[in-house]
Amino acid sequence: MDYKRVSIVAKPHKEVVKYLNRTIEYLKSKKVKIQLDEVSAKLINYTNFTSRYNIGEDSDLIIVIGGDGTFLSVSKTAILNSVPIAGFNLGTLGFLTELNKEEVEETLEKILTGKAKIFERKVFEFKFKKFNEIAANDIVITKGNIARIINLLLEINGEEITHIRGDGLILSTPTGSTAYSLSAGGPIVSPEVNGIVITPICPHSLTFRPIIIPDNFKVCVTLQSKSDNVFITIDGQKVIPIKKGGKFSVSLFNKTLKIIENQYMNYYKLISEKLNWGMKNGFKLD
């Protein structure tokens, strides 16, 4: 792939400026057209910028310097425009931003010369009233701060499966299985698995456990309890209120999320490192 137009999105953090400047300097040396999102441009007074949420429309590649939240903020525009994302991680935990920030020039050289591997991840389409969204990680329905359980009707392929009473429900892609779903007791699922992870949040009935279903199924969730404090959250980026009787659907989207992979890190090495597998008292076991 020919990367002539590269966009950069960075987390507004003091540490990011160093790596942002290194990235721009390298890309300029390769005669690449560069644009930043507005937040990143303000960090270094860069003049060529555009909206973060539309940045994929005029890009061949999106570079993210930050964490998974920054990555997810541009995932929708990247998916819709079939643009790969290269995520350089600034923090300590990044399942999506898996590239090493200290190797930015080396990594970009491999990308621009076509030597980097692109992994395609399946994503979800979310529909609710006038809302039509894309989720790379998860769709979460949960109550607010009021200490009441909510009642949800779960349907799969038009068939009523069960009523879930608890704090909420997570519908996760395999990519998102290491996010909120994992914290709620869901399984870790390889991105190569074609599945939808359904994870209850603090279910009233302990017999309802997380389940993985085929990703060519359609899942519908209806809020059946009366509450003014229930919300749907898509990838931690967009929050939508839902009232009693509100029903949304989740199904497989017809495009994928393209991620530039770390050449030194496969998925299992990544989760082993991020989750500190093989560690005891802070030390790696032999």
φ, ψ for residue 244, nearest 5 deg: -55, 135
Query: Which segment of 4-8, 22-26, 90-94, 101-105 scores lowest on mean pLDDT?
Result: 90-94
Same domain, 224 and 148: yes
CATH code of the domain containing 80: 3.40.50.10330
Q: When comparing pLDDT for 149 and 154, which is higher?
A: 154
- Which of the residue ranges 92-101, 142-151, 235-244 has the most confident prediction, judged by mean pLDDT? 235-244
Q: When comparing pLDDT for 17 and 267, which is higher?
A: 17
The average confidence (pLDDT) of the chain is: 92
Same domain, 128 and 112: no
For 51-115, the three-class secondary structure string (H helix, E strand, C coil) is CHHHHHHHCCEEEEEECHHHHHHCHHHHHHCCCCEEEEECCCCCCCCCEEHHHHHHHHHHHHCCC
Pair 77, 56: CB distance under 8 Å? yes
Same domain, 41 and 101: yes
Q: How confident is the model at residue 152 (pLDDT cuts 50, 70, 90)?
A: very high
Query: Does the pLDDT of residue 282 top 80, yes or no?
Result: no
- Clarify whether 235 is annotated catalytic: no
Same domain, 161 and 249: yes
94 Cβ contact list (under 8 Å, min separation 6): 67, 68, 71, 87, 274
What is the pLDDT, as a whole number, of residue 98? 85
Taking alpha carbons only, the member of 169, 166, 171 closest to residue 150 is 166
Range of the domain at 243: 123-254
Pair 125, 134: CB distance under 8 Å? yes
pTM: 0.91
Same domain, 98 and 197: no
Q: How confident is the model at residue 1 (pLDDT cuts 50, 70, 90)?
A: confident
What is the pLDDT, as a whole number, of residue 146? 67
Q: Rounded mean pLDDT of 144-151?
A: 80
Same domain, 38 and 146: no
What is the pLDDT, as a whole number, of residue 280? 59
Q: How confident is the model at residue 86 (pLDDT cuts 50, 70, 90)?
A: very high
What is the pLDDT, as a whole number, of residue 93? 57
Query: Does the pLDDT of residue 217 top 60, yes or no?
Result: yes
Neighbouring-strand partners of residue 223: 152
Model confidence pLDDT, tens digit, residues 97-122: 889 899 999 999 999 999 999 999 99
Same domain, 184 and 76: no
Q: How confident is the model at residue 184 (pLDDT cuts 50, 70, 90)?
A: very high
Same domain, 58 and 109: yes
**Residue 282, token pair as written in the block:** 């802070």
- Considering the candidates 2, 37, 58, 68, report the single residue annotated as catalytic: 68
Same domain, 108 and 18: yes
Q: Rounded mean pLDDT of 76-88?
A: 97
Taking alpha carbons only, the member of 163, 160, 122, 152 closest to residue 251 is 122
What is the pLDDT, as a whole number, of residue 263? 77
Pair 143, 126: CB distance under 8 Å? no
Neighbouring-strand partners of residue 36: 8, 49
* Structural domains of the chain, count: 2
CATH code of the domain containing 181: 2.60.200.30
CB neighbours (10 Å) of residue 229?
12
Query: Which segment of 92-101, 159-168, 200-209 scores lowest on mean pLDDT?
Result: 92-101
Query: Does the pLDDT of residue 181 top 80, yes or no?
Result: yes
Same domain, 19 and 81: yes
| Distance of alpha carbon 88 from alpha carbon 261, whole angstroms | 10
Same domain, 228 and 265: no
Same domain, 99 and 15: yes
Q: How confident is the model at residue 91 (pLDDT cuts 50, 70, 90)?
A: confident
| Distance of alpha carbon 189 from alpha carbon 179, whole angstroms | 11
